[in-house]
Amino acid sequence: MGCMRKLGCLLVLALICAAAYLTRDMWMSRVPGLRRSRPDTTALTSPTWQSMSPAGARRAKASLERLAARNGPASVNVAPGDLAAYIFQELAAALPTSADSVEAAAIGDRLYVRAIIPTRELAGTGALGPLAALLGDRERVQMGGTLRIIRLGFAELRVQDMKIGNITVPKALIPRLVQQISRGTRPPELSPDGLPLRTPEYIGDVRVSNGTITLYKAATR
């Protein structure tokens, strides 16, 4: 009888353990120290910043040559880093000559560019106000926005969010800072918050969606 009682206890214990395992999602989160860890997806969703490289420029050029061909496709996809290497050399030319470490990334439906810029290039007009005192001599400036073809051969990046170091720039200040750091003459059709860049005349539209950049061929007349 003692043996049977022991077997019965073991059976009950086994059933309790099985029930606890099957219902673990319901009770483990309520017990301190036993919360189930979830897979870290940060690495999967974080943006990939890509610097300009000769290899990337060659890949982008090959894609654009396909687009320019008479019987070529109506659109092509280009990696952010390749676009940075090919087209964003023009955008980099719109930044101060003292800017370095220019990188680009496609995040959601926006194209981002960042570079390290001396803060004197930003504080000259006093647009930053007391925030300027929180910055070092050189800070990473990050700008993100949408690409718009203004006319054949000319486009702009409309800056919709901006960070200087760890400081998020208020939206009302973005046009003033964009105009301050961009070099050269600003065409009248350029938006107040737009950074200019030249594009091949056969590109009719540029769209960014879910991290993918698609270039569309201009309609032939």
pLDDT of residue 52: 67
pLDDT of residue 108: 83
Give the strand pairing for 75-78 and 50-51. Answer: unpaired
pLDDT of residue 42: 30
Q: Find out whether 119 and 96 touch, Cβ atoms under 8 Å.
A: no
Note down pLDDT in tens along the chain; length 221 residues.
Answer: 544 444 445 444 444 544 554 445 454 445 554 444 443 333 333 457 877 677 887 888 888 889 888 888 999 998 877 776 776 566 566 666 677 777 888 888 888 888 888 877 666 656 667 777 777 888 888 989 998 999 998 888 899 999 988 889 889 989 988 887 776 778 889 999 998 888 888 899 988 887 778 999 998 65
pTM here? 0.66
pLDDT of residue 116: 87
pLDDT of residue 76: 92
pLDDT of residue 43: 31
Residues 6+ away with beta carbon under 8 Å from 147: 111, 155, 156, 157, 158, 206, 207, 208
pLDDT of residue 150: 92
pLDDT of residue 34: 46
∠ CA 215-217-219, nearest 5°, is 145
Q: What distance in Å separates the CA atoms of residue 52 and residue 88, rounded to the nearest whole number?
A: 8
